[in-house]
Amino acid sequence: MALPVAFFALFFAWPVAAIVARGLKTDGTWRWGRIADVVSQPDIRHVLWFTTWQALASTVLTLLLALPAAYVLARLDFPGRQLLRAVVTVPFVLPTVVAGSAFLALVGRHGLLDQLWGVRLDTTVWAILLAHVFFNYAVVVRTVGGLWAQLDPRQEEAARMLGASPLRAWRKVTLPALAPAVAAAALMVFLFTFTSFGVVQILGGPTFSTVEVEIYRQTSEVFDLSTAAVLTLVQFAAVGAILAVHAWTVRRRETALRLVDPNTTARRPRGAGQWALLAGVLVTIALLLVLPPAVLVRRSLDAPGLGYYRALTNADGGTFLVAPVHAVWTSLEYAVAATAIAVVIGGLAAAALARRDAGRLVRGFDALLMLPLGVSAVTVGFGFLIALDKPPLDLRQTWILVPLAQALVGAPFVVRTMLPVLRAVDVRLREAAAVLGASPWRVWREVDLPLVRRALLVAAGFAFAVSLGEFGATVFIARPDNPTLPVAVARLLSRPGDLNYGQAMALSTILMVVCAVALLILERLRTDRTGEF
């Protein structure tokens, strides 16, 4: 635990504490009254209200649209089922900047809806809500569908034989069993939408602002660190409460049910109702998940002869100090470095948490590992500039600063992927190897590593995809001569002109393809047959 604790203390706790202290401390005195002053401001209360209600609306809308797909993928067996599962998962690993760009190409200026019917939704809250559903659809399908596939269908069949209608059997038998999974999925969707930044930044414009976007505005545009610090504390408290409730629902889910092999529960669709449901789910996925990326690709090809892609090779002294295509190689280099850091830190943390003799303090660190996913990435990025600006850790001019910020987001995915596999390793195998004279290092190399190798590769793939698309912290610390893909897309979208817009679409398409390829590789390496995250 020494290295993971030191890493999170140095590169997460310290930067966050530094920016909070910079905002709330004056002449050595803490100004706690500033919290009430900021929260009482009408514009800040409007931001807090919008952040909360759009997260609730996004969560409800995601559940309504994704629960039928969870049932279809869990209970129905049909050609192309595995491909459909991969298609559903692709949006989740896409960077939020790509999701925002895809919906901008669909509902924004000169978008598909604008061209066909003269309708624009990029300045309305509907664009944000639909983009959030696009991004979080897979969370519900994977989390709820994974458990649904393992529920014994004979329990519902027994209720039907005793005279219950299909609806009553589902409501009395299946729904209570699924409730913890539905609650866990809803909480994760709420967490992701509550802390939304890239989607709202691109689609919301000056009209809509979440807490995360407001923190960015207060730090980079208004330079009001005091207000940013208060908003950081508010978001931190909200995220902590969400994670605590999520941990409780997960514990209920782990202990409440007797599950069966998920490969034995799926059957061919029977009756007009199931075929109609399957058709409806396919149409929803086509319109909501496939159409926006397809429109994004088409918009990137609008210029004759791949003009927007060829323009990426030209240096633009206005937006970049280098050619935009340079961001592709920079992002790949940073993502590889961040993945290596995340695998080491997350792997060590997972190994410590998997030990049966782990104390309460170690288990408590498991919950803290999730905080970087919910705490403002903007705060972390700006905190890097404030906290890591003096020897012996003056990293502001070094390339490693970006991979460190990206690894903070990737490490929790490594822990969540590797921990169940490490806990499943029979401790007697290690004990037998030790009795035969193997050293602890050799026991790990000969016993643990072969069993967790594929999980390690899956964890590395997730960390790579997440690092590649990290935007909130990177937007502060990426240097002008080394922009990452998400930062380059955001900068191009912020400038007027069709050429800049087309280049943003082209870069978004490249980023989407790289992330999709990484996901398809992950699907082939998956060791978890339940289909859950």
Convert the pLDDT of each residue in 252-263 to its tens digit.
554 444 555 566
pLDDT at residue number 319: 62
Q: Which residue has the higher pLDDT, 221 or 259?
A: 221
Residue 387, amino acid: A
CB 150 within 8 A of CB 260: yes
Q: Quote the CA–CA distance of 336 and 403 in Å, as a whole number.
A: 8
Q: Please give the biggest Cα pair distance in the chain.
A: 75
User: 76 has which bridge partners?
Assistant: 267
pLDDT at residue number 3: 92
**Mean pLDDT, residues 470-495 taken together:** 85
pLDDT at residue number 61: 96
* DSSP 3-state of 26: strand
pLDDT at 368 over 70: yes
pLDDT at residue number 357: 66
Q: Which residue has the higher pLDDT, 119 or 491?
A: 491
User: 389 has which bridge partners?
Assistant: 394
Residues 133-189: tens digit of each pLDDT: 998 998 899 888 877 887 777 777 788 888 888 778 878 888 888 888 888 889 889
Q: Quote the CA–CA distance of 7 and 403 in Å, as a whole number.
A: 13
Question: Rounded to an integer, what is the distance from CA 353 to the centroid of its chain?
Answer: 23
**pTM of the full predicted structure?**
0.82
ω into residue 392 within 30 of 0, thus cis?
yes
- At 389, which helix (H) or strand (E)? strand 389-390
pLDDT at residue number 224: 83
pLDDT at 371 over 90: no
CB 87 within 8 A of CB 281: no
Place of tokens 């050595």: 28
pLDDT at residue number 53: 94
Question: Rounded to an integer, what is the distance from CA 482 to the centroid of its chain?
Answer: 24
CB 442 within 8 A of CB 511: no
**Mean pLDDT, residues 358-369 taken together:** 68
Q: Quote the CA–CA distance of 63 and 87 in Å, as a whole number.
A: 18
Calculate the average pLDDT of the chain.
Answer: 82
